[in-house]
Amino acid sequence: MIEAELSRSVQHWCPGATGVTGAAKLSGGASQETWRFDITHPDGPIGGILRRSPKGYGAAPTRAAGLAAEAHLMQLAYEAGVPSPRVMHVLTPEDDLGTGFIMQRVEGETIARKILRDDEFAAARPHLARQIGGVLAGLHRLPQGKLPELRSRSATEEISEFNRDYRSLNWPKPVFELALRWLRDHDPGPSAETTLVHGDFRNGNLIIGADGVRAVLDWELAHLGDPMEDLGWICVNSWRFGEIDKPVGGFGSREDLFAGYEAAGRNVDPARVKFWEVMGTLRWGIMCGGMMQRFREGPDHSMERAMIGRRASETEIDLLRLLAPRGS
């Protein structure tokens, strides 16, 4: 049982800890798992989260930064005052838990639909778009000299990567072709400044409490690039969960997002943000196609994966709303 290994591990690096209780798997694919547990401590229990690749699953997918980089970035963010869980321990071979890290559990909600509908968050919701602007500004300002090694991606490189991904699906979609043309025609070129980009900053990857954003999660797609990419991605309609008139994660307006970003001392380029929103919409559509492909070729022959393939059409209507809007 994982509790035995966790108990041994915490006693090594957490002074006073005597063991763990209540270990439960929160999510997990074949290569990466998230567990919650409580560290037993004389001063009271400490909530912990384990993120790991189990033994034998060391290799990260090509786009992922890797768990070591993720831990490093979360710790940097925490130290810089960007809402983030505190990393307590990076796994070593002696832990016998695979590779990954243990962080302090932050209480709050990550399920987007609850955040958008439950009364508990009603007071926080109107402030979230602006607050997120400030959080992103802090994230983009993390000191570059301290960052782990990360892949670097310009807009031009991203377009050709998505073009390749899309063609490999052999899934002719006129709307995706139109989006690819639009992206090539509107490629803004290299950004004036290259910063850390979170890469998956959206409603669903944020822990929200009654007081607002408590932590930014899922740093696995972090890379170096155009900071406007993160502002565009959080506006992708797929992350509005039905609140389509509130572009920023279903919370609020672009104006609020931009105001929060600029109040924190950074500049917004709205045309670039729009470019990355189109790119992000296509990105999720192609990912839906990838899910369909994996469903067909196995090993994950699940119904859920099959149905995600059928969500590509959601991104097609959203791309048309962006590129060929009807009426007015």
Partner 1 sequence: MQDEPTPIELTKAVADFLRNDITPLISGHQAFKLRVAVNILDLVTRQLTQEEGSDAKEVERLRALLGMDGSVTELNRALAERIAKGEVDLATPGLAEHLWATTMDKLAVDQPNYASYKRELGRNP
Amino acid at 35: W
- Single out the residue of 214, 240, 266, 274 in contact with partner 1 (rule: CB under 8 A): 240
Largest CA distance in the chain: 66
- Class of residue 130 by CB neighbours under 10 A (exposed 0-12, middle 13-18, buried 19+): buried
Q: Which is nearer to partner 1, 55 or 321 (CB)?
A: 321
Q: Which of 29, 225, 213, 1 is nearest to 121 (CA)?
A: 213
Q: Does 52 bind partner 1 (CB under 8 A)?
A: no
Q: Give the binding range for partner 1 (CB under 8 A) out of 68-76, 93-101, 222-230, 312-320.
A: 312-320
Q: Does 180 bind partner 1 (CB under 8 A)?
A: yes
Report how far apart, in Å, the C-alpha atoms of 324 and of each of 31, 312, 317 are: 40, 18, 10
Asked whether the beta carbons of 171 and 111 are under 8 A apart, the reply is: no
- Single out the residue of 105, 153, 173, 283 in contact with partner 1 (rule: CB under 8 A): 173
Q: Does 320 bind partner 1 (CB under 8 A)?
A: yes
Q: Does 317 bind partner 1 (CB under 8 A)?
A: yes
Q: Does 313 bind partner 1 (CB under 8 A)?
A: yes
Q: Does 314 bind partner 1 (CB under 8 A)?
A: yes
Q: Which is nearer to partner 1, 173 or 254 (CB)?
A: 173
Cis ω for the linkage preceding 299 (within 30 of 0): yes
User: Can you tell me the distance from the alpha carbon of 175 to that of 86, in angstroms, rounded to the nearest whole number?
Assistant: 43
Q: Does 114 bind partner 1 (CB under 8 A)?
A: no
Q: Which is nearer to partner 1, 18 or 313 (CB)?
A: 313
Q: Does 177 bind partner 1 (CB under 8 A)?
A: yes
The binding track of 153-172 with respect to partner 1, each residue x by CB under 8 A or -, is -------------------x
Q: Classify the C-alpha dihedral 54-55-60-64 as positive or negative.
A: positive
Kindly state the smallest distance separating residue 145's Cβ from partner 1, in Å.
Answer: 42
Q: Does 24 bind partner 1 (CB under 8 A)?
A: no
Q: Give the binding range for partner 1 (CB under 8 A) out of 14-22, 23-31, 84-92, 177-185.
A: 177-185
Q: Does 318 bind partner 1 (CB under 8 A)?
A: yes
Q: Which two tokens stand for residue 202?
A: 């959206």
Kindly state the smallest distance separating residue 203's Cβ from partner 1, in Å.
Answer: 14
Q: Does 28 bind partner 1 (CB under 8 A)?
A: no
Q: Which residues pair with 87 in a beta bridge?
A: 103
| Number of residues this chain uses to bind partner 1 (CB under 8 A) | 31
Q: Which is nearer to partner 1, 30 or 192 (CB)?
A: 30
Grouping H, G, I as helix, E, B as strand and the rest as coil, residue 21 is strand
Q: Give the binding range for partner 1 (CB under 8 A) out of 2-10, 68-76, 224-232, 238-246.
A: 238-246
Q: Classify the C-alpha dihedral 53-59-64-69 as positive or negative.
A: positive
Q: Does 174 bind partner 1 (CB under 8 A)?
A: yes
> Cα-atom radius of gyration of the chain, to the nearest Å?
20
User: Can you tell me the distance from the alpha carbon of 122 to that of 209, in angstroms, rounded to the nearest whole number?
Assistant: 10
Task: Find all residues with CB under 8 Å of 318, minimum gap 6, and list them.
Answer: 236, 237, 238, 281
Q: Does 321 bind partner 1 (CB under 8 A)?
A: yes
Q: Does 4 bind partner 1 (CB under 8 A)?
A: no
CA 66 to chain centre: 13
Cα angle 112, 122, 213; round to 5:
55
Q: Which residues bind partner 1 (CB under 8 A)?
A: 172-178, 180-181, 237, 240, 242-244, 303-304, 306-307, 310-311, 313-314, 316-318, 320-321, 323-324, 326-327
